[in-house]
Every structure is written in structure tokens, then in C-alpha cells.
Structure 1
Amino acid sequence: MGSAQRLANGNTFICESAFGRLFEVTPEGETVWEYIIPFFNEYPEHLSKGIIPGKQNSAFRAHRYAADAISWLK
């Protein structure tokens, strides 16, 4: 789980999946922006197998797209 993507401007977009955190950092390590998924869900014991108990806001993976890369969003 999780992902990292090098962006055209040299920054890195990171998905810290277990904590539902998406953020971008500069090559110097400065955080440009951060988003924490505000939606939590409790996973049944038979699915989580007790590894991460309680409510979670995890995300499997994320990819950052440029604003002009998805024409139907305009």
C-alpha cells in the first residue's frame, strides 16, 4: 500500500496509505500541501485480521494528475 510519484516540477507526491495522508514535498523535504482523508470506516475483524483495529481512513494508492490532463473535469 502507498505510493510516491516524482512530479514534473521536481517535487514528490506521496500517499501514506495507512494513515490516509496525501502530501507533496519539495526536493529539500519541505511540505507543500497535505490532505488527510476525513472519512473513517471500521473494518470487520475477519477482513483486517486484527492488524489495524478500529476505524481507518486508509487509501490503497493515489496518483496526482495535472489540471489539464483530464479534459472532462473542465
Structure 2
Amino acid sequence: NSLVTLGGGGQIMELTPEKEIVWEYHCPYWGKYMKLNYVYRAYRYPYDWIPQLDKPKEVAIERVDNNDFRMPGAAPKDFNNVTKVPGTLGFEFLKAFSEQLEKAKEKKDDDKQSKLSKRLETLGY
């Protein structure tokens, strides 16, 4: 099994080789000022901490090439493979929106900054 930490989502889980969730934990502690529940790191307890169980067979895992950022057996990189979902906005929209906001900040146009910021909030950003 694999221990997976999704730090930005405050989640820790154990997955079987068939990708079934054995258990999962969601951090219930949220920041006071920034509503975040990040977790930094998780560790698996050593086998000898649970003497009632037999030690399972360990399987070595090949080291991942961080430059390639692909797990063994994963599909090849395909940056042109994009799934469009009707009614959603892509990253291009956010990039253009943030560029408009930066220009308004440079010009010290507080009214435009306020309008753009409110528009982003209504979109859920």
C-alpha cells in the first residue's frame, strides 16, 4: 500500500495497488486568518510498533525521476490533450483577468481594481 499526503487539501490516505482507499484523514484544523488546513507531512508507523501483526513482505519501489515528473506506468505526457467542460473558464481567462488587474494596480486605478476583484469573487476565485 502507499501512504499519500495531499498537503494543500489537508488530506492523508492509504491506497492499495488497485487504487482503493484503505483509510483517509482530513485535517479538521483551519487557520484563523487564512482558511487553510494544510498538512505538512505524514509518516507510516514502523511494523515493530504493532507486534501483534506479522511483518508484511516489502516491495522495492523504483526511484522517480523528478525532472520527468512521471510515475512508472503512468500515461505519457500530452500537453495538447485538453478536456473542455461546458460552462467553465480556463486558465487563459484567469491569466487575462490577472493581467488586467496588474495594469489597474500600476495605474493606481482603485475603482477598476475593486470591480475586477469583486468579479473574481463572484466567479469563486
**Which residue of the other structure, out of 29, 40, 43, is the alignment partner of 2:30?**
40
Alpha-carbon deviations, 1:8-34, whole Å to 9, x = none? xxx000110001100000001000000
CA RMSD between the two structures: 2.0
Secondary structure of 2:45 counterpart: coil
**In 2, Cα distance between the equivalents of 1:36 and 1:19?**
8
**In 1, Cα distance between the equivalents of 2:46 and 2:18?**
22
- In our comparison, the structure showing a higher alpha carbon Rg is 2
Alpha-carbon deviations, 1:27-71, whole Å to 9, x = none? 01000000000000045xxxxxxxxxx4000012111113644xx
Report sequence identity in percent: 41
Whether 2:41 is the aligned partner of 1:61: answer: yes
* Structure (1/2) with the larger helix percentage: 2
* Structure (1/2) with the larger strand percentage: 1
User: More relative contact order in 1 or in 2 (CA 8 Å, sep 6+)?
Assistant: 1
Q: TM-score, normalised by structure 2?
A: 0.36
**In 2, Cα distance between the equivalents of 1:57 and 1:68?**
31
| Structure 1: unaligned runs, 5 residues or longer | 1-10, 44-53, 70-74
Q: TM-score, normalised by structure 1?
A: 0.58
